[in-house]
Each structure stands twice: as C-alpha cells, then as structure tokens.
Amino acid sequence: MASNEGAPEGVSVPVESSRGFDRRWLFVVLLITMVAIDQAVKAWARGAMNIGGSISGPFPSIFEFQLTHNEGIAFGLAQGKGGWFTPIALIISIGAGYYSWRHPREPKAIHVAMGLLAAGALGNLYDRVIYGFVTDMFALRFFRFPVFNWADSCITIATVILILAWSKEAIQHRPQADAAA
C-alpha cells in the first residue's frame, strides 16, 4: 500500500482504499447484460402473445406470462402520463452511472444496485421512446399484483439492495457516533 510519506512536497501519491479494488466493471457488465435481457424478453413477449393474451408459466395459477402495454409508470400508475417521466429515467440512469464512476471502491452491492437501477430505468425508457408504452409480461396470480417486466424487477431488486446496504452502514456507524457523544 502506498502512502504520502517520503513523497516530494506537494506531490500526492494515491493511497489504495481499504474498501478494495475498482468495482465499476460490475456497473457496466450489469447495465449491458440486464438491458439486453430486458429487451430480449420484451421482444419475445410481443412476438408470442397478443395484448391481454397470456401463456401459462412454469407455475400455473401462481406465475404466468401476460402481455400488457403500460402507458404509465411503475405498477400501472399515472396511465397516459409515462412520457412525462422520461427525464426522471434519464436522471436516474445518469446519476447511477455517475455515482458508480466517482466511487470505484464502494462495496460490490452498491455497484450491483447502481447497475440494476440504471438498466431498469433505461430498459423501460427505451420502450417508452420507441413504442410509446412499456411492455409488461410477468403476472403473479397467487395474489393481485400489477403485471411487470424484467426492468421493473431490476429496479425493485436495486432498491432492496440499497436499503439493506445503507441500513447496514447506518447500523455500523451508529455505535461510533454514540461512543463519540
């Protein structure tokens, strides 16, 4: 590990973070992979089913495929106003990428969450810009839940990861703050 000790005055030698290696590659790999999967699944759904049509999934009466066009935002909210949220999807994607890029040594979970968040936002943004709606196809039948897609799943999983990671961080830093008081 390098230090500034012994370096000429005014010259800063980078010090390797104790958090580990550059993990930005997780963001990039997940972003590309998840957007590709999202678009492939949506293309399959549009080709395999008619609007409102369904295909029995691997667990009939529990999980099925049903093609819907969502002109709103997540879970069918704000129908017909999805286009208004285009700037938000761009801000989320750019913000997640910027954060990952500027914090290369953050824990893996943070880069995974940022990659999933950006992929979900961009996957749905692509649909909204190209088709004027978002293609949804996953239907949970064992309880009433809106039809959703791969991108929605990425966003949901990213949110859970961030909540858990930030909660863990808050808990770990809490005793230090209490001890200092």
Distance from the first to the final alpha carbon of the chain: 33
Name the residue among 17, 24, 21 with its Cα closest to residue 1: 17
What are the backbone angles phi and psi of residue 28, rounded to the nearest 5°? -65, -45
* Strand-pair category, 54-59 with 63-70: antiparallel
Q: CA quadruple 36, 42, 47, 48: dihedral positive or negative?
A: positive
Q: Which residue in 22, 127, 152, 178 is the catalytic one?
A: 152
| Cβ-contact 123, 35 below 8 angstroms | yes
Give the C-alpha separation, 9 to 43, whole Å.
Answer: 60
Q: CA quadruple 44, 49, 53, 55: dihedral positive or negative?
A: negative
The one-character DSSP state at 141 is: T
Reply yes or no on whether 152 is catalytic: yes
Reply yes or no on whether 22 is catalytic: no
Provide the token pair at 34.
């998840």
Q: Which residue in 22, 38, 127, 136 is the catalytic one?
A: 136
Residue numbers annotated as active site: 136, 152
